[in-house]
Amino acid sequence: MFGINFKSDKVLMAFFIVMVLAGPIILAPFGAGYPDLLQRFAIFGIFAVGFNILFGLTGYLSFGHAAFLGVGSYSTVWMFKLLTVNIIPGIALAVIMSGIFALFIGFITLRRSGIYFSILTLAFAQMSFNIAYSVLTPLTNGETGLQLRLSDPRVLDPVNTSGSLPSTNLFGLEMNDTWRTTFLGMDLQFNVGFYVCAVILIAMFYLSLRIFRSPFGLMLRAIKTNQTRLNYTGINTRPYTLAAFVISGMYAGLAGALLACMDPLAGAERMQWTESGTLVLMVIVGGTGTLLGPVLGAGFIKYFEAIFSRINDNVLHDWFDFLPGFLETLMVWITHPFFGKGWSLTLGSVFMLVVIFLPGGLVEGGTRIGKWVKKLTSRGAKADTNEAE
């Protein structure tokens, strides 16, 4: 990708670590260097990497992974309310609960494959959303959402005498702590919460890499290629698909936990099918079945959501103010549906272009660019050699 040789896993990991940890510096020129967006890049990167283990390796398309995201968030907030606002116990509980929930749903849904599996997961996700929204109101607080209160016991934390809600922390390091500095005219923000998410993203990416390279990963690829043939040879594929489903669900629960760690609030809207649909878009746009693709896709879509959704007509008028009055008004009228509340129209258009022209997603696009640059470089080297002769 982009001319870098990733044949070595060590090179790939080194590149990934540098790019993730340098995120605040790399993304600052693009207006994406502030903590909230950087955290979402990392969290939804984890979400997408986990989903890629199921969809990219095994070929099972789930529309229900938002349910695990919600379970992870609810579990973490309950841990904050009852035990401590240290994020470690909350994350541990979220991963365990989402894994158990994924085991239950996977055991039922994996009896079917193809579109039937996808519809079943969608049904379970919507059932989970409705249960969280109405039936389990005492546990989820319904449409208001579950949040911290001063009256919560938090038995492992010191007695709160400040009169304000405590901040989530990692052994005293508060998630919202931010160190700011100016570099080359850019406002750089180094946030504790982002780096916690970044380190976890790196660890989860490495785990995904090991799964891809393992015999288990090869078996998942074989299931994707021809599951029927494997069954005819006497291999029982269900334990493998169920394991992939549970691992993927635990990734989703971890992402939900981190969302709650950065903003201690859990709502039923995280379990809606639209969240699962966005997750599918992330993986396809980035590159299904690739290692870097899901992270790239997650960052790409979250960037669109954060930047394009905030562009209003005033910004558009500023963009086209060099044009004569009637042309400026015309251009604003043409582009208006693609920004602000209509940013999803732009995303849909980009998704269509990727599916039509780049079936391999952004990773394929990067590979093509790398080959093109390499070809140009080799031509230039040959021309220099000929001139020297």
Angstrom distance (rounded) from CA 266 to CA 77: 7
Average pLDDT rounded to a whole number, residues 260-271: 91
Place of tokens 């093109």: 372
Taking the alpha carbons of 93, 96, 99, 100 in that order, is the dihedral positive or negative?
negative
pLDDT at 5 over 60: no
pLDDT at 246 over 90: yes
Q: Which residues contact 26 (CB under 8 A, 6 or more apart)?
A: 19
Within the chain, strands assigned E span: 146-147, 169-170, 173-174, 178-183, 186-191, 265-266
Residue-range domain boundaries for the chain: 14-289
Tallying the residues shown for the chain, one arrives at 389
Instruction: Quote the DSSP letter at residue 185.
Output: T
pLDDT at 236 over 60: yes
The more confident residue out of 348 and 110 is 110
| pLDDT attached to residue 242 | 96
| pLDDT attached to residue 4 | 52
| pLDDT attached to residue 2 | 44
pTM of the model: 0.91
The average confidence (pLDDT) of the chain is 88
Average pLDDT rounded to a whole number, residues 259-277: 90
280 pLDDT tier (thresholds 50, 70, 90): very high
Instruction: Quote the DSSP letter at residue 188.
Output: E
pLDDT at 3 over 50: no
Q: Which residues contact 244 (CB under 8 A, 6 or more apart)?
A: 53, 54, 57, 58, 60, 220
What DSSP letter does each residue of 262-281 carry, written as one string?
HS-EE-GGGGSHHHHHHHHH
Average pLDDT rounded to a whole number, residues 139-156: 89
pLDDT at 386 over 70: no
Average pLDDT rounded to a whole number, residues 61-83: 94
Given a contact cutoff of 8 angstroms between Cβ atoms, the answer to whether 79 and 89 are in contact is yes
- The string of pLDDT tens digits covering residues 158-178 is 877 777 888 999 988 999 999
Angstrom distance (rounded) from CA 111 to CA 373: 47
